[in-house]
């Protein structure tokens, strides 16, 4: 699940903290990095669990309305499509989901008011109304509802964003990218897989975990060297006047230049230019682009960067 894009992002975040405070050893900082990966994976499961618990919240509301003394005919015989969503039922019973919850229970039960309010917002949405009235009563349509809900309701919900920030500092910038992994999970679900349906693992393979470790360690161990090199390529700027996040982003990019001969130079450049746009100032993308391209050209002339 944790791909190279997220790895680079997390390495930048933890490296920034390391160089800013200088209150940790390399080993301690590395432990924090991998703890941040674990928190990202926890958020993945928390978003999956949110869909399950929103369904359960609505089920409780429907049942309470049915049991009212003066229940209306509609309340006595409700439309149960949302409550009986087949994708949600498969998710809650799949082996990977239950295994993770046995090891590390993640739940929204401590936020009942949020669940009630969010459930109500979903029920009032046009998406919900279209889904409930659709003639297509199929497993595929059940999945399609949650794919659309994830993009248009969950990822845009301000109360959810605020609550996630309160729950963990590690989740401040994670929702958008983790939501793409949840979306990928829904797309991969198949009714015939039943409880054996797989969820995404924390790392796709050992190579990605090793990539994270080597990129981070090399950045920290050669930080002063990379910073001095960057300073020589900043035209008409004193390094103290440059956004510190820009410096860290370029330090990590230099680490990738030197440590991973199989990753094309252009791929590295494009990735860190985009990260600069996300994490630093408005002009950072253009600034980082210019400096990193100049550095890459010079490294090639020196013969220390031989890859394309």
Give the tens place of pLDDT for each residue, 249-272.
999 999 999 999 999 999 999 999
Average pLDDT over residues 115-120: 96
Asked if residues 38 and 10 have their Cβ atoms less than 8 Å apart, the reply is no
Confidence of residue 307 (pLDDT cuts 50, 70, 90): confident
Give the CA count within 13 Å in the CB-facing half-sphere of 37.
25
Mean pLDDT across 220-244: 85
pLDDT for 236 beyond 80: no
**pLDDT surpassing 80 at residue 295:** yes
What structural domains and CATH numbers belong to the chain? 4-196 (no CATH), 222-302 (1.10.940.10)
pLDDT band at residue 71, thresholds of 50, 70 and 90?
confident
Mean of pLDDT values over 242-251: 92
Q: 1: exposed, middle or buried (C-beta count within 10 Å: 0-12, 13-18, 19+)? A: buried
pLDDT, one tens digit per residue, over 165-198 is 999 989 988 898 999 999 999 999 999 999 999 9
Q: Is the pLDDT of residue 281 over 90?
A: no
208 phi and psi angles, rounded to 5 deg: -70, -40
Q: Are 289 and 277 in contact (CB under 8 A)?
A: no
Given a cut of 90, whether residue 69 has pLDDT beyond it is no
CA-to-CA distance for 198 and 193, rounded, in angstroms?
9
With a cut of 90, say whether residue 232 has pLDDT above it: no
Residues in the chain: 308
- pLDDT for residue 245 is more than 90: yes
Q: What is the pLDDT of residue 56?
A: 97
What mean pLDDT do residues 206-214 have?
Answer: 95
Band of residue 100 on the pLDDT scale cut at 50, 70, 90: very high
Segment 85-97 shows an average pLDDT of 97
pLDDT bin (cut points 50, 70, 90) of residue 75 is: confident
**pLDDT bucket at 210, cuts 50 / 70 / 90:** very high
- Does the pLDDT at position 226 exceed 80? yes
- pLDDT tops 90 at residue 308: no
Radius of gyration, CA atoms only, the chain: 24
> Of 91-95, 105-109, 229-233, 293-297, which range is least confident?
229-233
As a whole number, the mean pLDDT across the chain is 93
């Amino acid at each position: 699940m944790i791909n190279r894009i997220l790895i680079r992002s997390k390495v930048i975040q933890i490296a920034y903290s390391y160089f800013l405070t200088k209150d940790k050893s390399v080993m301690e900082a590395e432990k924090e990095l991998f703890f941040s990966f674990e928190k990202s994976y926890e958020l993945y499961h928390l978003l999956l669990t949110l869909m399950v618990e929103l369904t359960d919240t609505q089920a409780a509301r429907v049942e309470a309305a049915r049991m009212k003394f003066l229940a209306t005919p509609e309340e006595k015989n409700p439309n149960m499509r949302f409550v009986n969503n087949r994708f949600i039922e498969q998710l809650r019973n799949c082996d990977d989901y239950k295994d993770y919850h046995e090891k590390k229970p993640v739940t929204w039960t401590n936020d009942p008011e949020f669940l009630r309010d969010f459930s109500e917002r979903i029920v009032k949405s046009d998406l919900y109304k279209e889904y409930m009235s659709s003639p297509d009563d199929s497993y595929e349509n059940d999945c399609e509802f949650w794919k659309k809900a994830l993009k248009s309701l969950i990822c845009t919900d301000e109360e959810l964003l605020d609550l996630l920030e309160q729950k963990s500092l590690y989740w401040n910038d994670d929702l958008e990218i983790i939501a793409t992994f949840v979306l990928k999970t829904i797309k991969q679900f198949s009714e015939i897989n039943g409880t054996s349906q797989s969820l995404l693992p924390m790392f796709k393979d050992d190579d990605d975990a090793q990539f994270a470790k080597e990129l981070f360690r090399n950045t920290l161990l050669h930080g002063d060297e990379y910073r001095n090199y960057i300073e020589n390529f900043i035209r008409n700027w004193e390094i103290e006047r440059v956004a510190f996040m820009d410096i860290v982003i370029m330090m990590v990019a230099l680490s990738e230049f030197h440590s991973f001969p199989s990753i094309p130079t252009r791929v590295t450049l494009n990735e860190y230019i985009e990260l600069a746009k996300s994490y630093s100032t408005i002009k950072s993308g253009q600034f980082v682009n210019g400096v990193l391209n100049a550095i890459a050209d010079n490294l090639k002339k020196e013969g220390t960067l031989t890859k394309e």
